[in-house]
Amino acid sequence: MSTETGNHNSNSKVDSAASHMVWVDCEMTGLDPRKDCILEIACLITDTELKVIDTIELVIKRTEDILKHMNEWCVVHHTASGLVDRVRQSSTDIAEADNRLLEFVSKHLPPGTAPMIGNSVYMDRMFILNELPKFNHYLHYRIIDISSLKELCKVYNGDLYQKVPKKRLKHRGLNDIEDTLEEFRFYRQHFLKTDSNASDE
């Protein structure tokens, strides 16, 4: 049984080879999409050589009642990172964020051609499905989860896993997705070897 979470364009380039990659990281009030919500979303667009083409980072205005009901982890880390203050100062509501994200991706790629990529990105996708429907529908329904590569590397090449770049743990959208991109560059060079990148070592 499948649930539609994005564009199923039958002419999608992703069926052969996507020309762009859409990297996403959200910061939320918790991990339950039924009651929690997005506070911040960062998005990078790269080409398939992982060159960054464009970036966007949006902090969403939320009520004090929403902030008051964040889980303990979020209260501690989102306060320390400055995100809570940024949320209070923001004038961007979730509907405007959806429109701006749609405008952002539509400048660079046609609908239904790029998968969403990130660390444990299935979680981001559930929140995006709930709160950012225009942005969600524009992307391909497939996701690429870098966390899966991490687990495979841990199992099949433990020595290499010890060399995976450490994350900065800033718990801000743009910092986190930049770290994810850097992590994937490492896997691409050392774990997902091809004739073209094996010679770079």
Which residues participate in catalysis according to the annotation?
A: 141
Closest to 168 in 3D by CA, of 60, 81, 83: 81
Q: Could you tell me if 42 and 57 are in contact, meaning their C-beta atoms sit under 8 angstroms apart?
A: yes
Distance CA 23, CA 53 (A): 11
Residue 144, beta-bridge partner list: 117
The string of DSSP letters for 48-105 reads TT--EEEEEEEEPP--HHHHHT--HHHHHHHHHTTHHHHHHH----HHHHHHHHHHHH
Query: Please, what is the Cα angle at 122 between 172 and 152, to 5 degrees?
Result: 95
Distance CA 23, CA 31 (A): 19
